[in-house]
Amino acid sequence: MKRMRNHNTGMAKREERITLPGNSGKGGSLLHLLWKRQVFLLLCLFFVLLFREKVFAGTSPIKNIRININSKLETGDSPGDIKLTVEETAKHEVGVGAKSSLFTVSSAEWGGRQVPFVSVGDELQMVLTLTPVDVTEYFFLGAYQASSFHIEGGYYVSSKREGDDLVLTVKVRAVQGSYDAPSSVDWNERTLGMAFWNPGKVDSGFYHVQLFRNGSRIYEIERVAGNQYNFYPYMTRPGRYQLKVKTLIKNDAEKKYARNSGYTESSELQIDDRDVSDGKGRLGDKVVGGTEKKIGWNQEGNTYIYRKPSGEFLTGWGLIDGYWYYFQPDGKMVKGWQKIDNKWFFFNLNGSMAVGWIKDNGQWYYLVPDTEAGNGLIAGELLPAGWHVIGGRYYYIDPDGKMHKGWVFDQGKWYYLNELENSLEGVMFSGFVVRNEKTYYLNKNGAMETGWLSIDGNWYYFQEDSGEMLKNTTVDGFPLNADGILDQNTFTR
């Protein structure tokens, strides 16, 4: 019996060793592996349940971008601030909003070329910042196709992601409105029957003209480019002649947003029996005077002339097909730089007057656009010397009309205009500027600072004579570290 008890005890011990995970036998290793696998699965399930919200956060991309732009701008309006709503947009205002519950329009500002007032057909550029309503649920993709955007009241231009936001550039649909009627219609005092009209503020360069005699219409020009015309060939009877002129839209595409103006009337011109025309020189007739040259543009040698219906050369300024040209007294069209009435103008190779930025012989010049004329400046003239705001940025124009680059000293202060050939070339800088391994600081007005200066809570020293920031040195016993910052811990305790 004693031996049997010992035998049974040994069996129990062996069975106990088999069931323990730490047993070194084959059965023990298999059970140990199964036990570890079960523990691992339980831990995985625990962490999945615990961090379920984090696992699935921000995993839904925003695929379709729907924006609504409600522009109620009219001709002559200033663009003004953009409202971040479309429901409250009033007359002369612009509102924008998101047509989605996944994101909002968090900011909106005008981009591209800035204009003081809008004209018929202007398509203003707008830069929008879109922000997900819940960044833990939705996110913007790194790149989109144009087809992903649905812009009501505008057109897609470009987009890029910045952090969680999407920066979207769009164009607002063309401003609707009527062209201005000519401001005046007058008869030329020297040339009988020659009429001219002064374009309105918002002008297309195309006109509809009617000629009346004693109140009855006798001749009509459906469409003419330019602001003068010789009606003498049609004055074949004595009477009181009068003109009516209205501004026309440029083309059929403008019918979507532009309208013709009303008429502007001239004063009456009295034609007596002795002054009536013989009818020669009408449109379609050959020019009288020993020549059969065609009316309008014609090439003569290496230049061009423009012949009026009377057969005379157009001289001086001429608005043709919406563009300004200038002709010498002999009728020859000019090109390149021209000084006219003590103002400089530039004419392209095709003779049309240039406006805006041009680059000539490696130098930039700015010629006043129509929208910026006024206050003593006329369209096309070279911008005078001094400071000017162009497109919302400051530039400095040298006395010879060139855009200045680099340092300039003006009214006792130094300023820096960007020298690098990029989109900011010639722009006045502010803040820290590093040039030729030297650091300078320009205040918000662009003027270079000198002496001790506190910037964002740190003290710096800029040399009085050059404006260069000092580093790794002491000034009057005050130590400056490698970043130029005053290290106050080294001389205080």
Query: pLDDT by residue (tens digit) across 130-157?
Result: 999 998 899 999 899 989 999 999 999 9
CA distance 262 to 249: 12
Q: Is residue 296 part of a domain?
A: yes
388 within domain boundaries: no
> Looking at the domain assignment, is residue 392 inside a domain?
no
Which structural domain range is residue 443 located in?
427-490
Question: Measured between alpha carbons, how far is 459 from 376 in angstroms, rounded to an integer?
Answer: 46
Predicted local distance difference test score (pLDDT) of residue 9: 41
What's the pLDDT tens digit per position in 160-190?
999 999 999 999 988 888 889 999 999 988 7
pTM over 0.75: no
pLDDT for the residue 294: 65
Q: Are 481 and 446 part of one and the same domain?
A: yes
Write the pLDDT tens digit of every residue in 391-412: 999 999 999 999 999 999 999 9
Q: In this structure, is residue 26 part of a structural domain?
A: no
In terms of domains, do 195 and 164 share one? no
Q: Do the domain assignments include residue 398?
A: no
On whether residue 338 sits in a domain, the answer given is no
At 179-231, the pLDDT tens digits run 899 999 999 887 888 999 999 888 888 999 999 999 988 888 888 888 888 89
Domain count, the chain: 4
Q: Looking at the domain assignment, is residue 25 inside a domain? A: no
- Kindly indicate the confidence band of residue 58, based on its pLDDT and cuts at 50, 70 and 90: low
Do 167 and 74 fall within a single domain? yes
Considering the domain architecture, whether residues 132 and 70 belong to the same structural domain is answered as: yes
Q: Are residues 165 and 205 in the same domain?
A: no
- From 172, 195, 226, the end of a domain falls on 172
Position 469 in a domain? yes
The arithmetic mean of pLDDT across residues 245-250, rounded, is: 92
| Structure confidence at residue 66 (pLDDT) | 95
Same-domain pairing of 264 and 319: no
**The last residue of a domain, from among 236, 271, 306:** 271
The C-alpha atoms of residue 381 and residue 379 are separated, in whole angstroms, by 6
Both 159 and 197 in one domain: the answer is: no
> 185 and 248 in one domain?
yes
Instruction: Find the angle CA(258)-CA(308)-CA(378) to the nearest 5 degrees.
Output: 55
Query: In the predicted model, what is the mean pLDDT of residues 269-274?
Result: 88
Residue 109 sits in the same domain as residue 149: yes
List, in order, residues 6 or more apart from 327 with CB less than 8 Å away. Answer: 305, 306, 313, 314, 315, 316, 318, 333, 334
Pair 316, 301 in one domain: yes
| Contact (Cβ atoms closer than 8 angstroms) between residue 398 and residue 413 | no
Q: Is the distance from CB of 171 to CB of 219 less than 8 angstroms?
A: no
Tens of pLDDT, residues 335-388:
999 999 999 999 999 999 999 999 999 999 999 998 898 888 999 999 999 999
Are residues 264 and 186 located together in one domain of the fold?
Answer: yes
- Give kind and range of the element (H or E) at residue 33: helix 26-50
Cα(127)–Cα(157) distance, rounded to whole angstroms? 10
Separation between Cα atoms, residue 98 and residue 297, nearest integer Å: 52
Q: Are 65 and 165 within one domain?
A: yes
C-alpha distances out from residue 271 to 45, 267, 276, 312, 364, Å: 104, 13, 6, 22, 53
What is the C-alpha separation between 441 and 460, in angstroms, rounded? 10
Would you state the pLDDT for residue 1?
36
Average pLDDT taken over every residue of the chain: 85
The contacts of residue 491 (CB under 8 Å, 6+ apart) are 477, 478, 479
CA distance 137 to 59: 6
Tell me phi and psi for residue 8, to 5 degrees.
-65, -40
> Per-residue pLDDT tens for 287-296?
344 345 567 8
pLDDT in tens, 437-465: 999 999 999 999 999 999 998 999 999 99
Counting residues of the chain whose pLDDT is more than 70, the rounded percentage is 85
What's the CATH code of the domain at 189? Answer: 2.60.40.10
